[in-house]
Structure 1
């Protein structure tokens, strides 16, 4: 699975930029995730659920198409999931769902430095654990969709060779895939961070 993800990431970068290498800006980025789920979820989760605060980190490339429009593919490790507060002892139970994500964004520069971003994101589940005061337990892979499709909307501001950004990723596919159980829960992630262009 991990070898397949690395192959996909390599293909995204190599095939997109082979014809325009001299115009491509490469970079790295990282920041914080505030993730939870949208939808009804499990019965009783709605009022007690809250966001998981974690991180994302990865590489990007920006390919200018014109003076004001660019395509920006990325490959990120994104720690997502959500927290559930137990009613009895009020201890947090953290559902850790970590993905390798591949956003492909269209960037429109509204004026110098400031851009609006939108595009699809393809996610591949690489870790699923429950973390509580009693320790961490890995969950059954068969209960989760290994692929996640999201739509990202955001903005960034570029200062010379570094930039600040914020983004919201709205999940379109269900997190869970449990036989005989209908669970309406999709990823919902707010991201903010800083990046550096090489």
Structure 2
């Protein structure tokens, strides 16, 4: 049984190799990002810039590893804290507002499907390393996320792309010490990206 599986795998690889010319093209990307943090603030405009390698596996499908520096966060981010008064047995809320900055160095693996019309679809996972932040009570430096988007390739080879990026891990480590706690405990980062990319070595 194992020999049959191995034989089938070898035949599959041989068939794939004979019908597809795998190529590698480096490239650069950058643009504008609009990010928010758990919906507790206003969208923060900032930039992202990165490099990638496009591995063309078939005529319509490519695998694209990326490294991107992305400035995210939220403006006027509201931190809601609930305090409990032991003397009066009453609770009251206090909201404070702050511009939050979270700088990520992201490593992503993007799947790209292109069409004859010039349009393409993109999606894949991303592993984000927090290199700088002013977020209060943050106790981790790695985040996970997912990227999906669309693009259009111009005849010049320049690609216009729009993406949505959603992080999974809670960026904000809230307080709960028995006397006060935070209401906005779940604060993942979301980002809309609009930019361009260019692949060297071919249109």
TM over 0.5: yes
Question: What is the distance in 2 between the residues matched to 1:85 and 1:151?
Answer: 23
Q: CA deviation at 1:177?
A: 3.0
Question: What is the distance in 1 between the residues matched to 2:38 and 2:175?
Answer: 20
Match of 1:132 in 2: none
Structure 1 unpaired stretches of 5+: 1-21, 40-45, 87-91, 130-138
1:81-96 paired onto structure 2 within 5 Å: 81-84=73-76, 93-96=98-101
Indicate which of 149, 152, 157 corresponds to 1:157.
152
Residue by residue over 1:45-104, the C-alpha shift from the partner in whole angstroms, topping out at 9 and shown as x without a partner, is: x4xx11110000010111111111111111010000001168xxxxx7310111001121
1:38-49 paired onto structure 2 within 5 Å: 38=38, 46=40, 49=41
Match of 1:10 in 2: none
Indicate which of 110, 113, 118 corresponds to 2:115.
110
TM-score where L is the length of structure 1: 0.71
Match of 1:56 in 2: 48
Structure 2 unpaired stretches of 5+: 1-21, 79-96
After superposing on structure 2, the runs of 4+ consecutive aligned residues of structure 1 that deviate more than 6 Å are none
1:85–1:74 CA distance, 2 compared to 1 (3 A): closer
Quick check: 1:171 aligned with 2:167? yes
Mean CA deviation greater in 105-114 or 148-157: 105-114
Indicate which of 177, 189, 192 corresponds to 1:190.
192
Quick check: 1:97 aligned with 2:92? no
Question: What is the distance in 2 between the residues matched to 1:191 and 1:68?
Answer: 23
Question: What is the distance in 2 between the residues matched to 1:148 and 1:85?
Answer: 19
Give the SS at the match of 1:50. coil
Question: What is the distance in 2 between the residues matched to 1:157 and 1:25?
Answer: 18
Give the SS at the match of 1:143. coil
Mean CA deviation greater in 106-115 or 163-172: 106-115
| Number of aligned residue pairs | 155
Look at both structures and tell me which one has the larger radius of gyration over its CA atoms.
2
Give the SS at the match of 2:187. strand
1:72–1:85 CA distance, 2 compared to 1 (3 A): closer
Give the SS at the match of 1:111. coil
Quick check: 1:147 aligned with 2:142? yes
Give the SS at the match of 2:172. coil
Cα contact 2:64–2:110 (8 A) shared by 1: yes
